[in-house]
Amino acid sequence: AQKVTQAQTEISVVEKEDVTLDCVYETRDTTYYLFWYKQPPSGELVFLIRRNSFDEQNEISGRYSWNFQKSTSSFNFTITASQVVDSAVYFCALSEAPYNTDKLIFGTGTRLQVFP
Answer for which of 71, 85, 102, 116 binds other proteins (CB under 8 A) is: 102
Q: Taking CB under 8 A as the rule, does residue 66 contact other proteins?
A: no
Interaction with other proteins in 14-53: which residues (CB under 8 A)? Answer: 33, 35, 37, 42-47, 50, 52
For 2, residues 6+ apart whose C-beta sits below 8 A from its C-beta are 25, 26, 27, 94, 96, 105
Q: Taking CB under 8 A as the rule, does residue 61 contact other proteins?
A: no
Answer for which of 9, 57, 61, 71 binds other proteins (CB under 8 A) is: 9
The four Cα atoms 39, 63, 104, 13 give a dihedral, to 10 degrees, of: -50
85 membership: H or E segment, kind and range: none
Measured between alpha carbons, how far is 36 from 51 in angstroms, rounded to an integer? 9
List interacting residues with other proteins (CB under 8 A). 4, 9, 33, 35, 37, 42-47, 50, 52, 91, 95, 97-98, 102-104, 106-109
